[in-house]
Structure 1
Amino acid sequence: MTVERLVEYVDRMQEAAEQARTLTDDMTESAFLTDVRTQLAVTMSLVLLGEAAARIGMSHPDFIRDHPELPWSKIKGMRNLIVHGYYCADLSAIWGTVRRDLADLISQLQSIRHWRIQGE
């Protein structure tokens, strides 16, 4: 995988995480739990996030090893849960992931991207 492709996947991860956060801005958990349209959009964003992470893992496993601060297995696990067990997915857990965990992930992805661009 080229560095450009790697940066593209990191960008896709960040974009998907930001989309999930934006989709739930100004919402309460109870509103999320009753809004099927938002649930579908958010879960698709999480699938895209996990898919980009999985592609990095397949094509550039050394990058995953170099950045253990990111919860790679949890990101891919969330994707797998949604794709393979959507009707069993815990929407409250998805809400918690989006509202609590993604802000830190976005910040970490920004740091990684800046590190890569500067070539350090």
Structure 2
Amino acid sequence: RMVQDAVVRQLEIIGEATRHLSKEFRSAHPAIPWSEIAGMRDKLVHDYFGVDLEIVWETAFRDVPALREKLLAILGKR
């Protein structure tokens, strides 16, 4: 349960962080699904009993690594 909670919390943080990026930055990088990331955060934070842990796990192990690579490329670190 602690691992699940930790993964959910990190996804919430990622989603919240996207909201603090400027519209210009998000528009300049349309390959990143900014609205989907923010939407995932909203679902995790507000849909207390409707969080599908399979989707959370799939996001954490499939989508987050791909997102990381895209962000590193944007930052010039890949």
TM-score exceeds 0.5: yes
Considering fraction of residues, name the structure with more helix: 1
Give 5+ residue unaligned stretches, structure 1: 1-35, 116-120
Q: In the alignment, residue 63 of structure 1 is paired with which amino acid?
A: F
Aligned twin of 2:58: 96
The one of 56, 64, 84 equivalent to 2:26 is 64
SS state of the match for residue 47, structure 2? helix
Q: In the alignment, residue 84 of structure 1 is paired with which amino acid?
A: H
Query: 1:54 and 1:100 mapped to 2: Cα distance?
Result: 22
The one of 1, 5, 9 equivalent to 1:44 is 9
Query: 2:17 and 2:33 mapped to 1: Cα distance?
Result: 13
SS state of the match for residue 43, structure 1? helix
Structure (1 or 2) with the larger CA radius of gyration: 1
Query: 2:41 and 2:28 mapped to 1: Cα distance?
Result: 22
User: Residue by residue, what CA displacement relative to the aligned partner does 1:87-110 show, whole Å, maximum 9, x if unpaired?
Assistant: 211000111111111111000010
The alignment-based identity, stated in percent, is 38
Q: In the alignment, residue 60 of structure 2 is paired with which amino acid?
A: V
Give the C-alpha shift of residue 86 in structure 1. 2.6
Give 5+ residue unaligned stretches, structure 2: none
CA RMSD of aligned residues (A): 1.1
Query: 1:47 and 1:54 mapped to 2: Cα distance?
Result: 11
